[in-house]
Amino acid sequence: MNTIIPKAKAKYFQHTQTYALCHYVIKDNK
């Protein structure tokens, strides 16, 4: 479990960061 959780957290954080970036770009283009 200790090795799986950090990977999941890292993946979730990366996905959130990408989503936030895409949302910012879309909002900026409007």
Q: Which pLDDT does position 6 carry in this prediction?
A: 81
CA angle 27, 21, 4 (to 5 degrees): 145
Token pair in block for residue 11: 């993946």
Chain segment 1-30, per-residue pLDDT in tens: 567 778 878 887 888 888 888 778 877 776
- In three state form, how does the secondary structure of the chain look? CCCHHHHHHHHHHHHHHHHHHHHHHHHHHC
Q: Which pLDDT does position 12 carry in this prediction?
A: 78
Q: Which pLDDT does position 2 carry in this prediction?
A: 64
Q: What pTM value is reported for the model?
A: 0.41
